[in-house]
Amino acid sequence: MLDTKSQPPGPPAADAHLHPETRLVHGGTLRSQFGETSEALFLTQGFVYDRAETCEARFKNEDPGYQYTRYSNPTTTMFEDRLAALEGAEACRAVATGMAAVNGAIMGLVKAGDHVVAPRAMFGSCRWIIEEMLPRFGVTSTLVDGTDLDQWRKAAATPSTTVFFLETPCNPTLEVLDIAAIAAIAHEVGALLIVDNVFATPLYQRPLALGADVVVYSATKHIDGQGRCMGGAILASKALIEERIQLYLRMTGPAISPFNAWVLLKSLELMPVRLARETETAAKLADAMLSIPGITKVIFPGRKDHPQAEVIARQMSGASTLIAFDVTGGKDGAFRFQNALKLVSISNNLGDVKSLITHPATTTHSRFKPEERAALGIADGTLRLSVGLEHIDDLVADLKQAAAVL
């Protein structure tokens, strides 16, 4: 536990009246008795106690200190508190990966006999949890067209419905779902809504303010933003975290490394600057791609021709760093295009300062049957581009020369 008695004055409190940029610099900071400027890294497995009675009190939650890094750690606490301040959440729990966050949020809220509703358009691992893993524990599910509110209502009519899960914008097609409307449907039947907010980030979309009950992140993506480490986060009310989710995380052990938590904590400070530049570049690039021969379709949340432009205008304050597009020639064309790129790198990751391109049909959504991918709008020629910090002219030139092979 930090020596708070001899602690020097900390930064201004990350109150709601402060702008996001300020909260991302000061929120959650704890200073030790040494008064460090940059937040300290507590790279330790465990903690010691001055007396056996203190240890007992700590494990009975009567003494507010640390016990074991699998449970909590001062560096992890700073990351959790800073992200919570940005999100406007009462509580946050950091975990090892984004999928650990998805799994922890869902498993903390369901039990045998429950029913989960989710859209068909999801990241492949998320859909595996809902379709393949949950049934092993007696939890059923219904998949719907996420943009069709009537399908949500019909699926929610199942008496045992307890959880709605969705991601928006969706991976990889950038379909956008109406969070407020879906939250209202969930709450009508007493269900809780979990929103995967990775593609929008907490800077561009506030699911809790729109009615969601839980928000999850793969901090590996835009929060780190530089391809260095993995992490995840679950945010919700204090009561929901403490009563439904925390014990599951504590007992099953998806703990984040303090080092990774420290990297992510420092990454949050520059996230607004990174995202502003990447989003601006993505918008210009999406426009330029429309005139490149061989590129047949471009989907970008910042364009007025996006299928859910009206929903985006209501619930998102910014666009995205991601572009979905199709090229001619199906899989063969997509592979030729990727292999011809000189600046953009082939990767299944996203949210990096380096621009990355992914072929969903053979990577993130390869487990889906061809007809399932087709129904979601994922063609053999569909590609997902994560825009980084390179100059717009260089990115346009790279895409143009790659498209010449189509």
pLDDT at 228: 97
Q: Which domains does the chain have, with CATH numbers?
A: 20-266 (3.40.640.10), 271-404 (3.90.1150.10)
**Residue 124 in tokens:** 């492949």
Q: pLDDT 10s digit of each residue in the chain, 406 long?
A: 454 444 544 454 456 688 999 999 989 998 988 899 999 999 999 999 999 999 999 999 898 899 999 999 999 999 999 999 999 999 999 999 999 999 999 999 999 999 999 999 999 999 999 999 999 999 999 999 999 999 999 999 999 999 999 999 999 999 999 999 999 999 999 999 999 999 999 999 999 999 999 999 999 999 999 999 999 999 999 999 999 999 999 999 999 999 999 999 999 999 999 999 999 999 999 999 999 999 999 999 999 999 999 999 999 999 999 999 999 999 999 999 999 999 999 999 999 999 999 999 999 999 899 999 999 999 999 999 999 999 999 999 999 999 999 9
User: Distance between alpha carbon 28 and the CA centroid of its chain, in Å?
Assistant: 20
Beta bridge partners of 94: 233
